[in-house]
Amino acid sequence: TGISEERHGRSLAQARMRGERRDCGCGHRRVKPPARVIRSIDRMSAHPTTDDLLLFPGDARLRMVVLAWIDGLTRERRMSPNTVEAYGRDLRQFLHHLAGRHGTPTIPMLVALKVRDIRAFMAARRADDVSGRSLMRMLAGLRSFARFLEREGYGTVSALGGVRSPKVPRRLPRPIPVT
């Protein structure tokens, strides 16, 4: 293969076995560093523990459904670990918000949500200086979880259909550098 392990740390054969190659700029190949994943969310998708279940507020049934949803995002939909981490974090923040306002979240509580509950959460996040793009991602994650609840037969969270995504400012195109 022609790669010195002293120069790049791992051999090309090891990188090929892992499927993690990228060009390092000097003509050789080197191993791409793995994507950053929160340890607890990564563990949750494989083997949920008691600590993992405590990350999400709610009754035991809701926590088990959340873990099944995260597992489905990881395995069935094959989403990026960063996306799974962000969706899980957004859902956890939403459930903490609901717990502060209405008590312990349950699946029937989520099905009975009102549009004002979701807008209140978005307003609280906006007050924390969260960008419009992050709010859009948060809504996408909540909608994904709501679709999962509906697909699994728990009910329809109709309140998410009544919430529009926030407007985000348009960016000007970046100029192409002259070479």
| pLDDT category of residue 14 using cuts at 50, 70 and 90 | very low
Cβ–Cβ < 8 Å for 44, 92: no
What is the spatial distance between Cα 95 and Cα 57, in angstroms, rounded to a whole number? 6
Question: Is the pLDDT score of 142 beyond 90?
Answer: yes
pLDDT tens profile 75-103: 888 989 999 999 999 999 999 999 999 88
pLDDT recorded at residue 25: 52
One-letter amino acid for residue 114 of the chain: K
Query: What is the pTM (predicted TM-score) of this model?
Result: 0.65
> Does residue 58 surpass a pLDDT of 60?
yes
Provide the mean pLDDT of the chain: 76
Query: Number of H helices and number of E strands within the chain?
Result: 9, 2
